[in-house]
Structure 1
């Protein structure tokens, strides 16, 4: 198994964050404003180049979302690329059915999806409401939901009828990400996943994430040598990750899953740039 020593980007432990909450704004270009030139965040990261990242290729069935917060599932999608918005809508429905079947869920609802590609972006406009909008790899070790923002996301995207059906004792709510490469074999910028049972509460730093029409809170992580990191060498599109971003169930299991992409030291120089698709879904199961 090709375990690797990789470089991961962690949030710095700055005195600034004692008086100013970390934030990041995702703003489209407009007259007089270029987000590629003008700063839209106060995030300061630092590289840690000695992080052991364990390959789970031969052990992938031993890692379960109910224990460590992530797992690899076997699933063939009808989509390897996205040409029109309806392709994304159909893929999200496909991913939700995967989660429903895998987790024996009573209800699944995708509320977001993201296309990513590891190439330089030079653009003078972007439409964040466009399902085909494509972003680069996300920076910094992070978890996209916090214990405070999780209930807000659930209330925002469930209808009144759905809330009346499920917001009651006997149901477990999770927000789960499905993450799939779109290249035949992923070598460039694979995803590293952290077992959150190895994370101390002091490692988690809440940060505001602001976009037009949307406001959320995420966790960035500061470095801790006790973090346990994993990856899937030569991941294929039929081996998507599912991982937890928020979980209402108390217990010793992983209730979230920090993650970040990294530069793969085993990738050949001519490796295809990483392309991936991810969905975010509210998953409700019976307790």
Structure 2
């Protein structure tokens, strides 16, 4: 009579694994594959990659992602300009998008990368569904808090922006807050919602946020002179509307810059586009 010696099973039962869960093995974005393994027979022969070549390819792929983001951003701005009937801005952004697209294609060809046209298309109504856990799904709109999203009616203010909005219920009001509690692009979101100018002044870790009217920031020359004497800087302000023409600096903007003895400041529009301007009248278009 033969004697059979059984060895203890050192492998977990597959049914006890995370297989079948969205964040488990072979789940969403998992790139593993399943295959047969025979103890004592199967060998593991991983493919060896050139680390320097792999690092270089990663660098070029990240550059491709950046080019794609910039192209999508331009296309979104172009679509907004087109919807608003701004033909000059639409033509300008179309030309910019063509140049960015050409740059992207040349980069892909030069480094033998894989092109994805989906990543080059703007989303007019972006909604992302994030799986927070195995049984909880949370919907998030990445356009929330952006001037473009609010201006086109696809999004809303963030909770932080809503708090700022509540603290400035009408034109002519000003508040002093911590610098970390407001970003410059929050101005575009507030302008998109209320259709009025906002101005920001910075000193150390503090900022003054002023709400103006549809045509000016409603801060007196005397008040500005006192700010300048106390060491505040004119960080930037908004002009309601969309496009480079809207972001052109006025003589009043230049006078304020001279009063603060600054070389430059920035003007944002309602969708997050901005231009840098100087006290001599120059506008340096950014996007």
TM interval, short-chain normalised = under 0.3
Tell me: higher relative CO, structure 1 or 2? Use CA pairs within 8 A at least 6 residues apart: 1
> What TM-score does the superposition give when structure 2 sets the normalisation length?
0.21
